[in-house]
Amino acid sequence: MEILNVKNLRKTYVKGFIPKKQLVLKGVSFSLQPGTITGFLGGNGAGKTTTMKCLLGLAFPDSGEVEYFGQKELTSQIKAKIGFLPERPYFYEYLTGMEFLKFYGQISTKLKKHDLNQRILSLLERVDLIHAKDKALRDYSKGMLQKIGLAQALVHRPEFVILDEPMAGLDPDGRYYLSELIKETASEGTAVFLSSHLLHDVEQLCEHLVVLTGGNVVYEGLTQKFLESMNPSIDISYVDSGVGKTCSVPKGEALQLKIRELLKSNFDIMEIKENKISLEEAFVNTALRKDS
């Protein structure tokens, strides 16, 4: 069963003193499978956060359908299966780390006090904040807030987690620990839906992608396929009359033709190397293609 199935989501915001309509989502559709980590990519203003808010019932779409675990309504039972970390997390700064997680744990689970405490302590260990559990959140650094925010999203053992920019503001160590925690969460069967501008991290973490440009989904599928769809070129190094030369050809039939041609001309082929395209390049290419 799909964790989430979004069909043709449209959302308009009315802004300004003289009300002006702005169509933010123009028919967004995609689905998520259990136990997968899906990257949600898009430039600023592409509609990522709006989509997430529509999924969580924080904003109301004009039209479209969202199915959660096969059900069409976002009931309290469904919400209890979802975790959420917003972008730039703002939390109750007067609470200590422990109180904060207890508060979210109590409203989301039916765990007994002792079991909930155990769960919180183990999460605090995992996000490396056990030393700060009795410290007020107002004294946490940005990175610490990001970590406690993730712990908050996971405290009730959700089956589906939405993370909006979870790596923002973290140092390399923090990003590594958080990546490991996200992988571990997915390996336990939780579907992770992650939005990030740090495309290197997304490439490392996400096996699936949903790419949003201008309120439309322009790609949905495997990350690997997305990269391959960019037609990365192949460099062929060969020796022509004692001089080393290199030529670039696109993958596929053109490559085969070029190899045959070089062999026919009795050139020595020294190396055939694929020019790997990064997710960042692939994303920029997609965005540019869409813009043009």
Partner 1 sequence: MKVISIIAYNTFREIIRDRVLYGLVVFALLLIGMSLALGQLSFQEQSRISANFGLTGIHLSSIVLAIFVGSTLVTKEIDKKTILTLLARPITRVQFLLGKAFGLSGIIICVIVSLSIVMLFIFLNLNMAIDYRFFVALFGIFLEALVLLGVSLAFSSFSRPILVVSYSVGLFLIGHWLESLKFFAEKSENISFIYFSKIISNTLPNLEVFNWRSLPIYEESIAFSEVFNATLYSFTWFAIFLTITTIVLRRKDFG
User: Residue 61 or 286: which CB sits closer to partner 1?
Assistant: 61
Which residues sit opposite 63 in a β-bridge?
A: 10
Contact 192, 186 (CB under 8 A): yes
Binding mask 42-71 for partner 1 (x = CB under 8 A): -------xx--x--xxxxx-----------
Task: Give the burial string for 120-154 (b: 16+ CB within 10 Å, else e).
Answer: beebbebbebeebbeeebeebeebbbbbbbbbbbb
- Amino acid letter, 2: E
| Total Cβ atoms within 10 A of residue 198 | 16
DSSP state letters, 138-199: GG--HHHHHHHHHHHHHTT--SEEEEESTTTT--HHHHHHHHHHHHHHHHTT-EEEEE-S-H
Our CA dihedral for 25, 30, 33, 38, rounded to 10 degrees, sits at -60
Q: How far apart are CA 148 and CA 120, in angstroms?
A: 10
Of 106, 179, 204, 285, the residue at the interface with partner 1 (CB under 8 A) is 106
User: Residue 48 or 175: which CB sits closer to partner 1?
Assistant: 48
- Min dist. Cβ of residue 136 to partner 1 (A): 9
Of 22, 45, 65, 94, the residue at the interface with partner 1 (CB under 8 A) is 94
Of 8, 77, 141, 275, the residue at the interface with partner 1 (CB under 8 A) is 77
- Min dist. Cβ of residue 47 to partner 1 (A): 12
Q: Which residue reads 């053992």 in tokens?
A: 157
- Site size toward partner 1 (CB under 8 A) is 33
Binding mask 132-151 for partner 1 (x = CB under 8 A): -----------------x--
User: Residue 30 or 160: which CB sits closer to partner 1?
Assistant: 160
DSSP summary character for residue 256: H
Judged by CB under 8 A, the chain residues 187 through 206 that form the site for partner 1 are none
Of 108, 196, 213, 223, the residue at the interface with partner 1 (CB under 8 A) is 108
CA 176 to chain centroid: 15
User: Residue 129 or 148: which CB sits closer to partner 1?
Assistant: 148
- Min dist. Cβ of residue 11 to partner 1 (A): 9
- Min dist. Cβ of residue 285 to partner 1 (A): 30
- Min dist. Cβ of residue 70 to partner 1 (A): 18
- Min dist. Cβ of residue 245 to partner 1 (A): 56
- Amino acid letter, 67: E
What beta strand segments (E) does 17-104 contain?
Answer: 20-32, 37-41, 63-68, 82-85
User: Residue 58 or 270: which CB sits closer to partner 1?
Assistant: 58
The interaxial angle of helices 172-187 and 142-154, nearest 10 deg, is: 0
For 123, the token pair is 């999460």
Query: Phi then psi for 256, rounded to 5 degrees?
Result: -60, -45
Which part of the chain contacts partner 1 (CB under 8 A), choosing from 32-40, 79-87, 139-147, 251-259? 79-87
User: Residue 148 or 170: which CB sits closer to partner 1?
Assistant: 148
- Min dist. Cβ of residue 290 to partner 1 (A): 24
**What is the binding site for partner 1 (CB under 8 A)?**
13, 49-50, 53, 56-60, 76-77, 79-80, 82, 84-86, 88-92, 94-95, 99, 103-104, 106-108, 149, 152, 162
